[in-house]
């Protein structure tokens, strides 16, 4: 790391020395080198760009991310579910009622709820959540989407200028996704989530398509996915494993809870894929997944493993049992199927 930051400098010794001193004063031993790079990038941007618009974009984005990290940081140990759905859904609609009940039952089980902060399904999510157990990530629009009235604690309301920073926080700070019927925004958020999972740019998570009573919204979408995307070879049939269509609140809650029943988290370390588990699986299940999922390995077997050196250095869940494998970093639909089998142990 020391060599890396020395290679990434402004090139002016006086400025580089000032950046180094500021990083030492502002960061910890663990964060100093990264902070130095951030400061170097900022100074380089100022020296290289004369476009005020470029600087305003970077400035606003960095401010939004900094503030979001500050708000979510105290709650990182609590699992959170992001609820997406139409801002136009009426209070009497089935999707509104379903989202409210879904949110209520999840918070009763210890989860926190995150919504986009607006009306409709988002409002229902905040309304159903227990007091202090929800966040709202509102977007400032030309016609101004006002925050809904069910956000109990205003310090958990974050107003974003940019969709891309808002969507980044949606993914980074949550552990499960619930998609209710909605318009372009819901489709955009849902498809981006599926793409991030399919390509391995986001860690595995449960994604539930919530279809309320009397609706064929997601069923019709599934017909399109099967008849066009799968049939034409645009996605693999195994990619359907990364989400689940459910028709009741209880099914949705159960799917999310079951996803983390044994599986805990994932970590990639020097070409090795490590699955952290809430408890050790049986030898029979280990044998089964080695038989069933040999095709997604680039070599070797799936084995029980102690924490890697990097995990020990960063003190990541050292008390949890682990599985390690040479995953091909491509077949995430198959990886999801393996996680489901592990959870059934």
The string of pLDDT tens digits covering residues 275-318 is: 999 999 999 999 999 999 999 999 999 999 999 999 999 999 99
Euclidean distance between CA atoms 175 and 81, whole angstroms: 6
Q: What pLDDT shows up at residue 3?
A: 45
Q: What are phi and psi of 266, to 5 degrees?
A: -130, 150
Q: What pLDDT shows up at residue 144?
A: 56
- Tell me the two tokens of residue 310: 């990097």
On the 0-12 / 13-18 / 19+ scale of CB atoms within 10 A, 221 is middle
Q: Could you tell me whether strands 157-160 and 134-139 are parallel, antiparallel, or unpaired per DSSP bridges?
A: parallel
Residue numbers of the chain with a pLDDT score lower than 50: 1-5
Euclidean distance between CA atoms 60 and 57, whole angstroms: 5
- Between the two ends of the chain, the Cα-to-Cα distance in Å is 41
Q: What pLDDT shows up at residue 267?
A: 96
Q: What pLDDT shows up at residue 6?
A: 56
- Tell me the two tokens of residue 20: 């180094």
- Tell me the two tokens of residue 286: 């280990």
Cβ neighbours for 270, distance < 8 A, ≥ 6 positions apart: 308, 310
Rounded to whole angstroms, what are the CA distances from 78 to 75, 269, 321?
Answer: 6, 25, 20
Give yes or no for a contact between 12 and 40, defined as CB atoms under 8 angstroms apart. Answer: no
Give yes or no for a contact between 262 and 342, defined as CB atoms under 8 angstroms apart. Answer: yes
Residue 314 CB neighbours (<10 A):
13
E-strand ranges in 144-223 read: 157-160, 176-179, 207-210
Q: What is the pTM of this model?
A: 0.93
Euclidean distance between CA atoms 165 and 184, whole angstroms: 18
On the 0-12 / 13-18 / 19+ scale of CB atoms within 10 A, 263 is buried
Residue with tokens 């080695």: 290
């Amino acid at each position: 790391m020391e060599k890396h930051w020395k290679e990434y400098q402004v090139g002016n010794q006086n400025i580089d020395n000032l950046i180094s001193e500021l990083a030492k004063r502002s960061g910890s031993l663990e964060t100093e080198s990264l902070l130095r790079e951030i400061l170097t990038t900022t100074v380089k941007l100022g020296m290289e760009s004369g476009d005020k618009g470029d600087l305003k974009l970077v400035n606003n984005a960095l401010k939004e991310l900094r503030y979001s990290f500050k708000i979510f940081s105290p709650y990182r140990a609590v699992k959170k579910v992001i609820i997406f759905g139409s801002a136009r859904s009426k209070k009497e609609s089935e999707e509104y009622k379903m989202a409210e009940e879904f949110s209520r039952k999840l918070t009763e089980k210890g989860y926190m709820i995150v919504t986009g902060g607006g009306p409709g399904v988002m409002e229902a999510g905040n309304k159903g959540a227990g007091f202090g157990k929800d966040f709202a990530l509102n977007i400032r629009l030309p016609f101004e989407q006002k925050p809904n009235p069910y956000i109990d604690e205003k310090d958990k309301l974050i107003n974003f200028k940019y969709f891309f920073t808002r969507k980044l926080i949606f993914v980074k700070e949550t552990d499960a996704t619930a998609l209710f019927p909605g318009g372009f925004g819901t489709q955009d958020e849902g498809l981006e989530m599926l793409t991030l999972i399919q390509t391995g740019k986001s860690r595995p998570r449960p994604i539930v398509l919530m279809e309320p009573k009397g609706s064929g919204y997601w069923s019709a979408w599934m017909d399109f996915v099967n008849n066009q995307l799968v049939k034409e070879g645009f996605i693999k049939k195994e990619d359907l494993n990364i989400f689940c269509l459910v028709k009741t609140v209880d099914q949705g809650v159960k799917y999310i809870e079951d996803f983390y029943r044994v599986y805990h988290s994932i970590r990639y370390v020097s070409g090795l894929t490590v699955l952290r588990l809430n408890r050790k699986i049986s030898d029979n299940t280990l044998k089964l997944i080695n038989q069933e999922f040999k095709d997604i390995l680039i070599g070797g077997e799936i084995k029980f493993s102690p924490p890697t050196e990097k995990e020990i250095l960063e003190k990541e869940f050292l008390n949890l049992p682990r599985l390690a494998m040479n995953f091909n970093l491509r077949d995430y639909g198959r990886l999801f199927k393996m996680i489901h089998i592990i959870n059934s142990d």
